[in-house]
């Protein structure tokens, strides 16, 4: 594995509270305790932090691109206010039935991150709360990490299969600390 300085994060359930009914507005977009500070710490330590998120709520008509932009502006503003930086946010607007190449577990979002960053994602940390996140990470030879927030506990209960040796952390804050200490 390369000594990558890329960190790829899923959004819903990793950075912000998730909902089976979708996050449909900037008001509903509420950060998980410690997640904003964790992103800022990673950024300040020299990591390029990218977001890769499935957002089928767009195709379902639950929110508009402008609403999604408002959610992301809120995220960016909070991270910036803590002295951090998010290098890019990439999202898939498609339904699962669209069979696109960008919806995780496909690797299209990671491909976009590689193109934007000008570097390979091989060896990058990829933090998620679902099997789809772990699968997308593995496809691009990233280092997957599972958090228990969001759908994380449900993912563990359903079984990790070939991902049983993936590091598991309570939340993004704990995962970021492990990365910074070089123990994950």
Q: pLDDT (tens digit, 9 = 90+) per residue, 61-119?
A: 999 999 999 999 999 999 999 999 999 999 999 999 999 999 999 999 999 999 999 99
The residue among 2, 14, 5, 1 whose CA lies nearest residue 180 is: 5
- What's the DSSP call for residue 107? S
The residue among 11, 50, 48 whose CA lies nearest residue 151 is: 11
pTM for the full model?
Answer: 0.96
Buried b (16+ CB within 10 A) or exposed e, 90-129: bbbbbeeeeeeebbbebbbbbbbbbeebebebebbbbbbb
Task: Point out the catalytic residue in the list 12, 18, 129, 133.
Answer: 12
- Would you say residue 1 lies in a domain? no
Q: Is the pLDDT of residue 1 over 50?
A: no
Q: pLDDT over 90 for what percent of the chain?
A: 96
Distances (CA, A) of 154 to 43, 126, 135, 179: 29, 19, 16, 24
The reply to whether 10 belongs to the active site is: yes
Task: Point out the catalytic residue in the list 3, 10, 73, 133.
Answer: 10
- Would you say residue 26 lies in a domain? yes
Structure-token pair, residue 6:
């890329």
- Would you say residue 51 lies in a domain? yes
Q: Tell me the Ramachandran region of residue 61: left when phi exceeds 0, alpha when psi lies from -120 to 50, beta otherwise.
A: left
Structure-token pair, residue 61:
């008509």
Q: Which CATH number fits the domain that encloses residue 67?
A: 3.40.50.1000
The reply to whether 3 belongs to the active site is: no
Domain count, the chain: 1
pLDDT tens, position by position, 12-60: 999 999 999 999 999 999 999 999 999 999 999 999 999 999 999 999 9
Structure-token pair, residue 123:
């060896």
Domain hosting residue 124, numbered range: 6-181
* Beta strand extents in 18-87 (DSSP E only): 48-54
Give the pLDDT of residue 183. Answer: 78
pLDDT tens, position by position, 51-70: 999 999 999 999 999 999 99
- What's the DSSP call for residue 12? B
Q: Is the pLDDT of residue 3 over 70?
A: no
- Would you say residue 175 lies in a domain? yes
Q: Do 95 and 34 contact (CB within 8 A), yes or no?
A: no
């Amino acid at each position: 594995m390369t000594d990558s300085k890329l960190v790829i994060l899923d959004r819903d359930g990793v950075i912000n509270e998730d909902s089976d009914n979708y996050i449909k507005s900037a008001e509903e977009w509420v950060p998980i305790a410690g997640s904003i500070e964790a992103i800022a710490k990673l950024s300040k330590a020299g990591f390029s932090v990218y977001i890769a998120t499935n957002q089928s709520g767009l195709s379902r008509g639950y929110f508009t691109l402008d609403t999604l932009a408002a959610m992301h502006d809120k995220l960016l503003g909070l991270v910036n206010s803590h002295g951090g930086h998010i290098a890019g946010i990439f999202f898939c607007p498609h339904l699962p039935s669209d069979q696109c190449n960008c919806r995780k577990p496909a690797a299209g979002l990671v491909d976009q991150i590689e193109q934007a960053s000008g570097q390979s994602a091989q060896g990058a940390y990829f933090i998620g709360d679902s099997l789809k996140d772990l699968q997308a990470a593995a496809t691009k030879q990233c280092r997957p990490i599972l958090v228990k927030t969001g759908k994380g506990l449900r993912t563990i209960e359903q079984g990790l299969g070939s991902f049983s040796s993936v590091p598991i952390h309570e939340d993004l804050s704990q995962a970021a600390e492990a990365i910074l200490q070089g123990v994950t």
